[in-house]
């Protein structure tokens, strides 16, 4: 049973860039931004401190078919800039919903975003501003999953909440295989040994080293995020 008191004080919400595109797989859909802002407002109204890491796959992905002939470092830099576009779109949606926010970038672009400074990010969170972390880690060869874990550790988040299109972690893609079954809970090593595509190995290992739990859940379903922060069992939890 959940109460009206959040069980987490500070969370890191990880979203893919594709989540902003919906069924079209590319671009940014205003209705999805509005849904995202409404869901986040529900938990900030409870006093929960929220950091967000967003991917850029709806605009450009360094490992995509389009980038196959490109230099990997150049492609990853383009992917980082795609996350900045998404982060600014999320900020606009949040502030239209009455939620104060800041965009902090791992690469300097002061006209658009603040540089990531750990103590400043924590201070923003303490002031109940949503902090949107963009440009990944600022380094090529690292995914936004790894960036999410890194930022979560740096801001001392209680948990990472990874929003997806499905309601947890399955042994196979439930959108392709009808007999796929869902795990209610997993250990970090289970994820690695079973080769489950939750996050990349670097991200999972960093979570394990810092004992940072992860919940994978369906972000598209209204109120799921709210229920999780109030303690309801939603999705799949990965922990030690």
pLDDT (tens digit, 9 = 90+) per residue, 188-223?
Answer: 999 999 989 889 999 999 999 999 999 999 999 999
C-alpha Rg value of the chain to the nearest Å: 17
> What are φ and ψ of residue 141, in 5° steps?
75, 0
The mean of the pLDDT values for the chain is 93
CA distance 219 to 157: 19
**Residue 197: other Cβ atoms inside 10 A:** 11
Q: Find out if CATH 3.10.310.10 is the number for domain 10-235.
A: no
Query: Domain boundaries in the chain?
Result: 10-235
- Whether 236 has a binding-site annotation, put simply, is no
- Whether 139 has a binding-site annotation, put simply, is yes
- Pull the structure tokens for residue 6: 């959040």
The CA distances from residue 98 to 41, 42, 172, 227, in Å, are: 8, 11, 39, 21
- Whether 144 has a binding-site annotation, put simply, is yes
pLDDT of 2 > 60? The answer is: no
pLDDT band at 67 (very low <50, low <70, confident <90, very high): low
The CA distances from residue 32 to 19, 38, 86, 154, 170, in Å, are: 8, 10, 12, 28, 24
pTM confidence score: 0.93
- Whether 213 has a binding-site annotation, put simply, is no
- Whether 141 has a binding-site annotation, put simply, is yes
SS3 135: coil
> What are φ and ψ of residue 91, in 5° steps?
-60, -45
């Amino acid at each position: 049973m959940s109460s009206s008191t959040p069980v987490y004080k500070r969370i890191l919400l990880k979203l893919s860039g594709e989540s902003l595109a919906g069924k079209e797989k590319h671009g940014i859909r205003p209705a999805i931004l509005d849904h995202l802002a409404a869901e986040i407002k529900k938990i900030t109204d409870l006093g929960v401190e929220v950091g967000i890491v967003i991917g850029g796959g709806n605009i450009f992905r360094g490992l995509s078919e389009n980038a196959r002939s490109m230099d990997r470092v150049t492609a990853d830099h383009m992917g980082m800039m795609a996350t900045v576009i998404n982060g600014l779109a999320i900020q606009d949606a949040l502030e239209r919903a009455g939620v104060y926010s800041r965009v902090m970038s791992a690469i300097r672009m002061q006209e658009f975003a603040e540089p990531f400074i750990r103590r400043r990010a924590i201070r923003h969170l303490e002031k109940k501003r949503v902090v949107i972390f963009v440009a990944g880690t600022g380094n090529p060869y690292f995914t936004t999953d790894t960036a999410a874990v890194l930022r979560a550790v740096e801001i001392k988040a209680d948990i990472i909440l990874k929003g997806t299109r499905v309601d947890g972690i399955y042994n196979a893609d439930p959108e392709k295989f009808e007999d796929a079954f869902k795990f209610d809970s997993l250990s970090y090593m289970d994820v690695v040994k079973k080769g489950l595509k939750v996050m990349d190995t670097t991200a999972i290992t960093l979570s394990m080293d810092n004992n940072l739990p992860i919940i994978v859940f369906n972000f598209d379903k209204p109120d799921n995020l709210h229920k999780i922060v109030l303690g309801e069992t939603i999705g799949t939890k990965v922990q030690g």
